[in-house]
Amino acid sequence: MKQQPRILIVEDEPSIAELIAVNLRHNGFQPVWAEDGIAAQRELEAVLPDAILLDWMLPGQPGIELARKWRRESRTKAVPILMLTARGDEPDKVAGLDAGADDYITKPFSTQEMLARIRAVLRRRSPENVHDTVTIGSLSLDASTHRAAWQGEPVKLGPTEFKLLHYLMKHPERVHSRGQLLDKVWGDHVFIEERTVDVHIKRLRESLGDGGQMIETVRGAGYRLSAQA
């Protein structure tokens, strides 16, 4: 029997947490509730979830600080994080993504939107079907071991950045629009904005260090990975 994906809900409002948990349970997920960062840390140390729904406004440590903390720790860095936020403004969304969130859900949200976003991040976390090795210049990637390296040195990448780099390396020298990257890397982008691509490209470049120069911005068109950079 297939195990239900475990979703950690970090939300200080019991009524909201209960509503989310009920909907998750009815749709084949196993919800676990933590009301603040301390309780969430306890849950993470006990059993690693498949994804985290993290409220921005929490008592004590804010959600954005928890996202940064969990992204720094090797055990939790690959767990998808979806920020729950009443902050719908663009700078706040970008701040959440920059902190390490894979996506965000703006309150109030529909059950269908929440489920679609959770399923999308879980799909992105799934390993690639093609377990191949790609090398372009000093950049190499092994899909089977989920490892990347620049000039022989390992590069730490989150699941979305890894998949994004894999796709760009499989199609070098071609210009990819944000919409095309959403289709190929995210798969289900019905609720995902194109701006999300820019944030993940920025994060990927930062992770690659000098190798980030290989990813070019083609003004008005999109992005290209070039061995000539």
- Residue 200: CATH number of its domain: 1.10.10.10
Residue 89 lies in a domain: yes
pTM of the model: 0.61
Q: Which amino acid is at 49?
A: P
- Looking at residue 15, what is its pLDDT? 93
Whether residue 34 is found in the same domain as residue 90 = yes
Entry field: residues in the chain:
229
What pLDDT, on the 0 to 100 scale, is given for residue 19?
93
Residues 121 and 151 in one domain: no
pLDDT score for 52: 96
Residue 89 pLDDT:
65
Give, as one character, the DSSP assignment of residue 176: B
* Segment-wise mean pLDDT, segments of 10 residues, the chain, 229 residues: 83 94 95 95 91 91 91 86 78 75 84 89 64 87 88 88 92 90 71 81 93 93 85
Distances (CA, A) of 22 to 17, 26, 146: 9, 6, 34
